[in-house]
Structure formats: C-alpha cells, structure tokens
Amino acid sequence: FCVGGLGDEHALQGTQSRGIAGPASPDKGLVSLRLVTAVLTLNAGENAFVDWAKIVDCGDAPLTFLDNTVALKQLDKAHKIISGRKSANSSYRTPRIITLGGDHTTTLSALRSAYERWGQVSVIHFDSHLDTWDPKVIGGGISHYAGVNHGTFLHLAHEEGLIRNSSIHAGIRAPIIRPKGDLRNDLRCGFEIVKARDIDRIGTHGVIEKLKQRVAGSRVYISVDIDVLDPAFAPATGTSEVGGWTTRELLTILDGLSGMEVIGGDIVEVAPIYDNPGETTVLAAAEVAHSLLTLMVQKPVKA
C-alpha cells in the first residue's frame, strides 16, 4: 500500500500545490491528514495497520502550481513510479494506492495509473457534484487546457477508456448546468446516481446495497470528495454544498462496502486553510482514509 499527499484544494488551479508533493516542510493540514491512529476500532473490530499488509507513506509528489498540464504530467509520472514498485508481499505484487489531497482533477492521474495495472475499473464516486461535465460546458470549449478540471475529470476518464459503465455517484446534491444534457452525458459516461437525500428514504443500508449491486463483479476505485459531507462536518473545501451527509453516515457506508475488490482510492478537495481550530475537516478526511485502507486490507487483490 502506498499513501501519498496531493495537497490543497485548487492545487491545479494555480494556488499552493502539494502533491503524492511539494515543499519540503509539509503544511499543517496535510500532516493532520496523515495522523490516522493505528488502533483497534470498536466499529470494525480489527486493526488494519497490524494485519497482513505492509503500509508505506510514499511522501509527496512534486507538482508545479504554474501550469495545470505540466502538474498533471508530473502526477502521472509519480503514479507510474509508485505503482511500478513491487509490494513487500510475494503473493500480491502490485501495490494499491491511496491518494490524499488535493484538487479532484488529481483522480484522473490515479485512474490512468490504475488502468495500467488493473484494467478498467468501476468507480464509486462520493461527491456533491457529478464531475462528468463535458469540457465544452465546464471550460467553455475555449481550449483543451481549460477543459481539464475538477468538474470534467470523470468525463475525460470515460473518454480515455479508463472506467467501466458500471460506475456510480453517491451523495449528489449540487445544481447542474443543463438539467437534461448533463444527466444524459453522465449516463453516457457510465454512471448511476444516489442522491444525498436518498439516505432519508432508504437509509445507510439502502445506499450500501445500491453501491454494491452497481459495481458487483468488478474491481473498484473509490474516490471521496470531502464535500460529500455537509459543510457543518467539513467546512474546509472549495465547493461546499448544504444538505450533505454526516461524517458518521459516510463512514458507515464506507465500512459497509467490505468484501469488494478495492484496488485504489483517494480522499480529495481538502483545503486546510479553510478549516476551523478543531480541524473538523482534516480529522474527517483522515478517518475516511482509514476506512479506505481497512477495505483494502480486508480483501487482498491480485493484478
């Protein structure tokens, strides 16, 4: 397992860049994200840190904040290097990577890397936004450069053939630009939708079952945008949307996905500069990373 930091929200938008990254002295938020306590949890009844798997912090990938295209190429290279290393376990030689960050665009590099090692994957995408927008809509069709961003990366992943047509969003509640066109394009990109308010009707168990049924029989990549949580629980993100899930609900859903072949994941869009003194957001993000790690340890996967 490799854990890397991908930095502050909008790292690829021209502000501070830290990637699986950046300056020699890590910012407070990224350090906090790494403080996942190695303890036996009462909920899971197990300690993933002392199980069969060896867990390695791979540090930060160097990303420039001057050019988005160059930054993504740097990140592609970092993923290629890390995923190309042989794992410590002779039975499972391909490492599985959890990425910490960072602008959601970084998931595109992670999916490219996952495709090279595992083939097409189903994506479970926890977010308040679809992120499958056509670059001609988000980016204005002005240039390819403008069209690669944190609202289009799943559209691009579909266009590149990285993901299966058995993917699903969870926690969606944000406005859409073209009510019919955006939903048609989302379906074309291979996604179904569990809306945030569906949890009021079917509960966490119902959400878990929908996610499991959708990705059944495939290898899975889990991407968690911290804004899937309500701003009351995760204020430190660049695109907050009210009416989201609680931290407890998200963790219950993640832990309920046990048994799936999770080959990679990320927790992104954390912007520590916006967090409160209690570090509500980074604490939630660290526990999400813990849940992703536990899912991987529970189910070994061979490439």
In angstroms, the CA 15 to CA 146 distance is 16
Q: CB of 129 within 8 A of CB of 239?
A: yes
Residues 6+ apart with CB under 8 A from 31: none
The DSSP code for 32 is H
Q: Give the separation between CA 208 and CA 152, rounded to whole angstroms.
A: 26
Binding site annotation covers 275? no
169 is in an annotated binding site: no
Pairing of strands 97-101, 2-6: parallel
Q: How far apart are CA 257 and CA 82, in angstroms?
A: 26
Ranges assigned E (strand) in the chain: 2-6, 56-60, 97-101, 122-126, 167-172, 191-195, 220-225, 262-268
Got the DSSP string for 216-259? Answer: TTS-EEEEEEGGGB-TTT---SSS--SS-B-HHHHHHHHHTTTT
> Does 266 belong to an annotated binding site?
no
Quote helix, strand, coil % in the chain, to nearest 5. Answer: 40, 15, 45
Known binding residue 198? Answer is no
127 is in an annotated binding site: yes
Q: Is 227 annotated as a binding residue?
A: yes
Number of H helices, E strands in the chain: 9, 8
Helix, strand, or coil (residue 292): helix
Binding-site residue positions for Mn(2+): 104, 127, 129, 131, 225, 227
Binding-site residue positions: 104, 127, 129, 131, 225, 227
